[in-house]
A and B are shown apart, each in its own frame.
Chain A
């Protein structure tokens, strides 16, 4: 990039071409959002003079980072906006709600023992009315179900000992959603890795990656949790293992935003942190791994490139990997944002924008008429399932289902 620019996030390199504005999903849905060019590099000049120039409308930024992918000059537009929010955003009108949405580990630990009850109670009309009225969580939103058994509990009880039969290992960063809500994905991951000839280890300590904390302006808590993850990942990498994930947003957070937004060191693990699909495709290409697939597997799938996946630039690995599975009929959808942006779409004031942003994608999905949509992002999964009624799978679950027993 521009070597002589001393500006933070390269904002001096902005040539005002406005191409970021043309790809911003929020700008198209919400006239009160000034768009990435203005919210990012333009207003940054004013904010540097006086933080009073902070524009409240920056809260509408989805942090989808499509502006950064589009920028031909390498300006980290979304990071400029994110940093400005962390430093200057006024305190929330719904502090309790934002804290609940952001602290996924805490809420998961709280809800898991009562999963049956929580899952029954949360969708009830009166409960939703209270959440909507008192907390500002939109009543039209459906919640992901909690699992009665956490993935980590299952792992330690059922499979940890079995893993010792392998002589090579990968370390798995499972993430909150997999642990508290959807352990099946982690079980699929273990199945695929074992079929590839690798045992699975967990990190010594894992915390929520912090992407929801940063989005809700809990910067200090995010740093605390990031430090725990960094230490654990460094240890795994020092032991010769790669750290694999199944969530694109957790991966982007730990690979890029830990250093760029939170100013923490990532050199100790960055090149060894990878999405499982990227790793697996590489291993298959180099001949290290050979997977045996069922001959009778048939599935019509549409691949949705999640925003952070696009920013990582690794969707090609997943697409090529899925093409290797016999019986998969794959449509690659145009790259559009689903609109939920993590916790953004849960908030009452954002719900209409969230659905408006996603409408293009939903239409595209319906037109392609798949049995399932495939994507690496868990919040895209909630949004697409709620808005289209079509099930959404992680690509690792597709691989697991296609494997020969």
Chain B
């Protein structure tokens, strides 16, 4: 890895609506921001994106946000509960003072479910959900499904926790936060 690191104030992981807004807000506060986006998101097809094929991501670039497209964060380097840098699949290392986790829920693979449990896919952050698998869903297909409100555990500042300890500089945003008001429709 060594030596190929890029430095930012904020690294936002996930290029969906939450990630884009987090990146835009920080950039407008004068921060040097990098946004890592697995691909283009469907939002770029929505009206209001100025007819540009890269829509909102293009607007982000205009605001000075560095956008890594087609890339995903695979892991990080921790100093206790302080996240120092993250690594991407394309071999880019990103250092920052703060990180925003906006990888969404199951469909965008922010959360991954299997027979043994539900986990957060990058850092293994604690997920707020019952251990008993039968409580994840309602057998009435049309009833509100409990799994739709699962998300990562956070403190009052929306910082994620790992193994019961809260991270000092990793914030969750968007659907990965969970909660019934954030449930998918």
The complex places the Cα of A313 from the Cα of B54 at a distance, in Å, of: 16
* CB pair A72 B3 closer than 8 Å: no
Residues of A near B3 (CB, < 8 A) are 279, 282-283, 285-286, 288
Residues from 77 to 96 in B contacting A, C-beta threshold 8 Å = 88, 90-92
The complex places the Cα of A224 from the Cα of B58 at a distance, in Å, of: 42
The reply to whether the CB of B108 lies closer than 8 angstroms to some CB of chain A is: yes
Given contacts A2-B109, A71-B39, contact A278 B4 (CB under 8 A): yes
Residues of A near B7 (CB, < 8 A) are 285
* CB pair A317 B6 closer than 8 Å: yes
The complex places the Cα of A278 from the Cα of B71 at a distance, in Å, of: 16
The reply to whether the CB of A22 lies closer than 8 angstroms to some CB of chain B is: yes
Residues of B near A317 (CB, < 8 A) are 4, 6, 92
Residues of A near B6 (CB, < 8 A) are 281, 285, 316-317, 320
* CB pair A316 B68 closer than 8 Å: yes
Convert A63-102 into 0s and 1s, putting 1 for each residue whose CB lies closer than 8 angstroms to a CB of B.
0000011111110000000000000000000000000000
Residues of A near B69 (CB, < 8 A) are 69-70, 310, 313
Report the nearest B residue to A74, measured CB to CB.
B38
The reply to whether the CB of A404 lies closer than 8 angstroms to some CB of chain B is: no
Residues of B near A71 (CB, < 8 A) are 38-39, 70
The reply to whether the CB of B40 lies closer than 8 angstroms to some CB of chain A is: yes
| Of A17, A74, A310, A334, the contact of B42 (CB 8 Å cutoff) | A17
* CB pair B90 A72 closer than 8 Å: no
Residues of B near A70 (CB, < 8 A) are 39-40, 69-70
The reply to whether the CB of A117 lies closer than 8 angstroms to some CB of chain B is: no
* CB pair A285 B72 closer than 8 Å: no
* Chain A min CB distance to B6 (Å): 7
| Of A2, A17, A314, A332, the contact of B90 (CB 8 Å cutoff) | A314
Report the nearest B residue to A274, measured CB to CB.
B4
The reply to whether the CB of B5 lies closer than 8 angstroms to some CB of chain A is: yes
Residues from 155 to 202 in A contacting B, C-beta threshold 8 Å = none
The complex places the Cα of A69 from the Cα of B5 at a distance, in Å, of: 21
* CB pair B41 A72 closer than 8 Å: yes
The reply to whether the CB of B48 lies closer than 8 angstroms to some CB of chain A is: no
* Chain A min CB distance to B13 (Å): 14
* CB pair A22 B53 closer than 8 Å: yes
Interface size class of A (residues with CB under 8 A): 35 or more
* CB pair B45 A313 closer than 8 Å: no
Convert A41-74 into 0s and 1s, putting 1 for each residue whose CB lies closer than 8 angstroms to a CB of B.
0000000000000000000000000001111111
The reply to whether the CB of B163 lies closer than 8 angstroms to some CB of chain A is: no
Residues of A near B72 (CB, < 8 A) are 1, 74
* Dominant secondary structure at the A interface: helix
* Dominant secondary structure at the B interface: loop
Report the nearest B residue to A284, measured CB to CB.
B3
* Chain B min CB distance to A287 (Å): 10
Residues of A near B40 (CB, < 8 A) are 19, 22-23, 70, 72
Residues of B near A274 (CB, < 8 A) are 4
The complex places the Cα of A274 from the Cα of B40 at a distance, in Å, of: 26
The complex places the Cα of A157 from the Cα of B69 at a distance, in Å, of: 43
* Chain A min CB distance to B135 (Å): 23
Residues from 36 to 53 in B contacting A, C-beta threshold 8 Å = 38-42, 44-45, 53
- Chain A CB count within 10 A is highest, among B40, B71, B72, for B40
* CB pair B71 A313 closer than 8 Å: yes
- Chain A CB count within 10 A is highest, among B3, B45, B108, B109, for B3
Given contacts A23-B40, A282-B4, contact A72 B68 (CB under 8 A): no
The reply to whether the CB of A311 lies closer than 8 angstroms to some CB of chain B is: yes
The reply to whether the CB of B164 lies closer than 8 angstroms to some CB of chain A is: no
* CB pair A69 B39 closer than 8 Å: yes
The reply to whether the CB of A312 lies closer than 8 angstroms to some CB of chain B is: yes
Report the nearest B residue to A19, measured CB to CB.
B40
| Of A19, A278, A334, the contact of B39 (CB 8 Å cutoff) | A19
* Chain A min CB distance to B53 (Å): 6
* CB pair A19 B45 closer than 8 Å: yes
* CB pair A72 B108 closer than 8 Å: yes
The complex places the Cα of A282 from the Cα of B58 at a distance, in Å, of: 26
The complex places the Cα of A332 from the Cα of B58 at a distance, in Å, of: 12
The reply to whether the CB of B156 lies closer than 8 angstroms to some CB of chain A is: no
The reply to whether the CB of B66 lies closer than 8 angstroms to some CB of chain A is: yes
The complex places the Cα of A281 from the Cα of B109 at a distance, in Å, of: 32
The complex places the Cα of A95 from the Cα of B129 at a distance, in Å, of: 61
Convert B1-16 into 0s and 1s, putting 1 for each residue whose CB lies closer than 8 angstroms to a CB of A.
1111111000000000
In addition to A1-B109, A320-B6, A334-B58, 14 A-B residue pairs with Cβ atoms within 8 Å of each other are A19-B40, A19-B41, A19-B44, A72-B38, A73-B38, A74-B39, A271-B91, A274-B4, A285-B3, A313-B68, A313-B69, A313-B71, A314-B90, A316-B6
Interface residues of A (CB under 8 A from B): 1-3, 17, 19, 22-23, 68-74, 271, 274, 278-279, 281-283, 285-286, 288, 310-314, 316-317, 320, 332, 334-335
